[in-house]
Amino acid sequence: MYKSGMSAGRTRQTTSIPIVSIFPSIDGEVNGAGQGVLATFIRLAGCNLRCWGGRCDTPQGLAVTEHTRFMQVSAVIDAVVALESRKVTVTGGEPLLYAACGLQDVLAALADRFIYLSVETNGSILPPEHLLRMVDSWVVDHKCPSTGESGKMVPFPIMRERLTNSDFIKFVIADEDDYAYAKNIVESCVFTPESPNMAFSPKTGGMNASWLADRLVADRLHTVRYNLQIHKVIWPEADREV
């Protein structure tokens, strides 16, 4: 279901939110609009986790620094509109750190413009009720053991109950232990047409992409979608955000 445009009520345009960058690209990961769609990314600064001991794949989003811009909601919206965006992906860092201060206003303003919205979140915070109706697709990155942060995840059944069939729960697989962990979770689920989608993604630089695909096929994991970060295939050497 397309949820955008359902955010009745006024937004606070003067609230500010910490921004790392706003940039146009393609959405290289699973989401309800499909991999490969053009999207504008809003990357927020600050994260409550430290995956792989802080060697995370988006270090620019880890913390609020002197390079962080605190932008008013109106300026964020102007930047997105200037890029003629039809889809926005909000990512981080961890966007839900700002669920009650800034994020809500950004999402509401974009939803009012009928822009398709996906939000990427790290699985440690339950998407709050007041944001559910504004977001078209949640993409929850449930952390596997190799991150060292799997113990901080919202209990899986609770997270899954919160999501719908336009949403994704993604497991980034770095090694065999991660695969066994994710496979065990998926095999414990009962799937209905309303269930959120499951996706396994090989960790870029840490997992052979074909190994994971072969395992999914061999293990007949028909309820799992294979996710490759296609922006990293297209622009492997980029020294800018893609």
Q: Given the rule CB under 6 A, which residues bind ligand SF4? A: 47, 49-51, 56-58, 61-62, 92-94, 122
Minimal distance, residue 192 CB to ligand SF4, in Å: 29
What interhelical angle do 103-112 and 73-82 show, nearest 10?
40
Minimal distance, residue 54 CB to ligand SF4, in Å: 7
Quickly list DSSP for 76-131: HHHHHHHTT-SEEEEESS-GGGGTTTTHHHHHHHHHHTT-EEEEEE-SSSPPPHHH
Residue 94 or 167 having the CB closest to ligand SF4: 94
Residue nearest to ligand SF4 (CB): 56
Residue 94 or 178 having the CB closest to ligand SF4: 94
Minimal distance, residue 50 CB to ligand SF4, in Å: 5
Largest CA distance in the chain: 53
CA separation (Å) from 216 to 19, 30, 107, 211, 219?
37, 17, 35, 9, 5
Residue 13 or 52 having the CB closest to ligand SF4: 52
Minimal distance, residue 89 CB to ligand SF4, in Å: 14
